[in-house]
A and B are shown apart, each in its own frame.
Chain A
Amino acid sequence: EPEVTQTPSHQVTQMGQEVILRCVPISNHLYFYWYRQILGQKVEFLVSFYNNEISEKSEIFDDQFSVERPDGSNFTLKIRSTKLEDSAMYFCASKREIQETQYFGPGTRLLVL
């Protein structure tokens, strides 16, 4: 069964450093998403991406965040200058059609020191 994959599974970084989180969505999917989940809290939507552009984003997704689909398979989330409060699990998700259900990747656990 096809699945969403994410790398790395864990990342530790120093405050102020840039990180890039990588995702490979399911191959025939067209809609891509990033979410975060701070430990013990709810899953929060960050951004959705379709047709090579951002379609919706939340207030969390400020100027320090960016997304890119650099080739036909990868979908990346960049955090330009990490803060302590960026420590969270980051999930990528994808779906084929807008009204269909989305499939989540296993997540990247980011720890900012």
Chain B
Amino acid sequence: RKEVEQDPGPFNVPEGATVAFNCTYSNSASQSFFWYRQDCRKEPKLLMSVYSSGNEDGRFTAQLNRASQYISLLIRDSKLSDSATYLCVVNKGGGSYIPTFGRGTSLIVHP
């Protein structure tokens, strides 16, 4: 099983749609989880951290399921500007803060 696994997509959705991405991780010792956004040929930028109780930031909601070892990102009311690759990032844990990146899920929002 890959350390951090994501469906590469692309997810092709119309403006205003709701879209959800999942990510699974293999290391049960992982303690920190993040969603980053990466535009083409640009650096990753933090979208949001993922907390145990789930958290929301405007149109974005992140959830963590430790038992099943997956995290999710829900985007409501998609905008054209949401088109990007969404990276799931999981720290190794067990005293290590090394982040492991997923390959990313590509989102295309069309008019």
Contacts and interface: CB of A to CB of B under 8 A. Distances in A.
A41 interface: yes
Contacts of B44: 43, 91, 104
Given A41-B103, A91-B44, A105-B43, A48 B98 contact: yes
A98 B102 contact: no
Q: Chain A CB within 10 Å — which of B44, B45, B87, B100 has the most? A: B44
A91 B87 CA distance: 15
Contact of A45 (B32, B41, B99): B99
Question: Interface residues of B: mostly helix, strand, loop or mixed?
Answer: strand
A51 interface: no
A29 to B, nearest CB: 14
23 contacts: A42-B101, A42-B102, A42-B103, A43-B87, A45-B98, A45-B99, A45-B100, A48-B97, A56-B97, A56-B98, A89-B41, A91-B43, A91-B44, A98-B97, A101-B34, A101-B46, A101-B49, A102-B99, A104-B44, A104-B45, A105-B43, A106-B42, A107-B43
> 7 shortest A-B CB distances, which residue pairs?
A104-B43, A43-B101, A42-B103, A42-B101, A101-B46, A45-B98, A106-B43
